[in-house]
Structure 1
């Protein structure tokens, strides 16, 4: 499996990151994609990538919850890094209207700027869209070019929304929410096109059942994969193989 979204550089893993990586390898995870948050997360993320080369893979972007009045300063740092070296993707970026709608316009502006960089560099974008899924789908549809691709991380929408995303050439990141009884994903997941699904945990957040409420970690990807395979009435082996192929294609990963 490929873990397409985990913040394992976060403070929550400071004490036992070696064991966390060990468990992820034992669970059969080949690579871990680490989406950036803002300037405060870069050093820890880069150190982890250096410690586990070609296993922990850094991306570069600005999370919508870190978009404030001075977001241009944050974007300047992102741009500096993008000019300095190559990254697998641009993100985590997007929109978030769950906590606060104050900076919605700035979030949209930051989204457009980062998407433009991604298209220019030929890199996928990792999209965060909490309480803003339709808004973000509309936004992508307006700026979409043949050069722009990516993933809607933590997808928990409807079949109709999923199909709109896939029509735009974007993937669906399925994580811990798919295992929650009240999420309704048991009705949605069987209807999704398996060529556009990738696996993620969003560690340390959104741990899957039966670990809900605890710290999440990449090794729990197995629980998510099993639940999706059950919903789709397919073998776990086939589900893992398909989602791994998809992740390799999306993030241009080589063996």
Structure 2
């Protein structure tokens, strides 16, 4: 589903990604963890075509993003960020329907049915459809953000620390929700987190990044048993 080949990216004199090569399989849940500034978010933005690599190639569904229609790519890729990114002046229903509408699906009844179906899928009642984001809790807003990402009918879901600002109880509930959703919809998920427990719980594989490179990429069990270096060992000690 995703392939990065010898990707490097700098901002000014700071090298953020350094000759990074990586493959993510279709239907895989990959969690990504590392210190702030190690290149996690930059990698995600490259996959979504929001930034271009200085060197190397990024492929999504076999297509080099240099040759891709980036607007079409983003419309069929779910993208969820920590602050939800919801439009405050739109109802929950209109937030969820935003991508289908700008993609040409203008049937209001059909869009409402889809929004309600997605609300239920992420564990929210259909009565939420007519509320505004400010009327929801943080956890409810995050669920709406996930529902909106799913409205694109995406095979690929990119998530950048989506649960980072939530309390532990809400976070655990959403983690369980994400695992169930991914299993049900067979999506490919790339999920950035700063929480090693979250990374180990959610990931089929865990990518540990350090200074723009791969420190280790393996299953949670193998990372626990055989940490690649002192940094990974220290990271997993708190798991």
When the two structures are superposed, what TM-score results if normalisation uses the length of structure 2? 0.40
Structure with max Cα Rg: 2
Which is richer in helix?
1
Greater length-normalized contact order (CA 8 Å, ≥ 6 residues apart): 2
When the two structures are superposed, what TM-score results if normalisation uses the length of structure 1? 0.38
Which is richer in strand?
2
